[in-house]
Amino acid sequence: MSIEPKKQGTAQRQREKGEPLESNRPLPWFLVMSLGALAMWGAFYIASTPSGDDSAYGDQRTVASLRPAVVLAGAAPAVDGKQLFGAKCAACHQGSGLGVAGVFPPVAASEWVLGDEKILANILLHGINGEMVVKGNTYKGAMPAWNALSDDEIAAVLTYIRSDWGNAAPPIKPETIKSQRELTKARTEPYPGGAAIKSDS
Ligand code: HEC
3-state DSSP of 98-119? CCECCCECCCCCCHHHHCCHHH
CB atoms within 10 A of CB 184: 18
Helix (H) or strand (E) holding 130: strand 128-134
Check residue 38 and give its pLDDT.
97
CA-nearest residue for atom 16, ligand 1, is 141
**CA of residue 178 relative to chain centroid, distance:** 27
Sorting pLDDT into bands at 50, 70 and 90, what band is 3?
low
Nearest to 159 by CA among 167, 131, 189, 66: 167
Check residue 77 and give its pLDDT.
47
Give the span between the Cα atoms of 189 and 169, in whole angstroms: 28
When the candidates are 1.10.760.10, 1.10.10.10, 3.20.10.10, 3.40.50.300, the CATH number that belongs to 81-198 is: 1.10.760.10
139 lines ligand 1 (CB under 6 A): yes
What is the percent of the chain where pLDDT is above 70? 82
Mean pLDDT of all residues in the chain? 83
Distance from residue 46's CA to the centre of ligand 1 (Å): 54
| Mean pLDDT, range 163-171, rounded to an integer | 90
Question: Looking at residue 75, what DSSP letter applies?
Answer: S
Distance from residue 76's CA to the centre of ligand 1 (Å): 23
Inter-residue contact 165 to 148 (CB < 8 Å) = no
**CA of residue 157 relative to chain centroid, distance:** 17
105 lines ligand 1 (CB under 6 A): yes
Nearest atom in ligand 1 to the alpha carbon of residue 141 is 17
Check residue 9 and give its pLDDT.
72
Pocket test for ligand 1, best of 83, 85, 88, 93 (most atoms within 8 A of CB): 93
Of 200 and 163, which is predicted with more confidence? 163
- Hey, what amino acid is at 161? I
Give the span between the Cα atoms of 102 and 123, in whole angstroms: 19
Sorting pLDDT into bands at 50, 70 and 90, what band is 70?
low
123 lines ligand 1 (CB under 6 A): yes
Distance from residue 166's CA to the centre of ligand 1 (Å): 18
Of 95 and 61, which is predicted with more confidence? 95
Helix (H) or strand (E) holding 5: helix 5-15
Nearest to 178 by CA among 148, 146, 151: 151
Dump pLDDT digits (tens) for 18-49.
776 666 677 888 999 999 999 999 999 988 87
Dump pLDDT digits (tens) for 73-132.
555 546 788 888 988 899 999 999 998 988 999 999 899 999 899 899 999 999 998 888
Pocket test for ligand 1, best of 82, 123, 143 (most atoms within 8 A of CB): 143
104 lines ligand 1 (CB under 6 A): yes
Burial of 1 (0-12, 13-18, 19+ CB in 10 A): exposed
Check residue 12 and give its pLDDT.
78
Residue 165 has pLDDT above 80, yes or no: yes
172 lines ligand 1 (CB under 6 A): no
Distance from residue 105's CA to the centre of ligand 1 (Å): 7
Give the span between the Cα atoms of 136 and 111, in whole angstroms: 10
**CA of residue 8 relative to chain centroid, distance:** 87
Where on the phi/psi map is residue 193: left (φ > 0), alpha (ψ -120 to 50), or beta? left
pTM (2 d.p.): 0.67
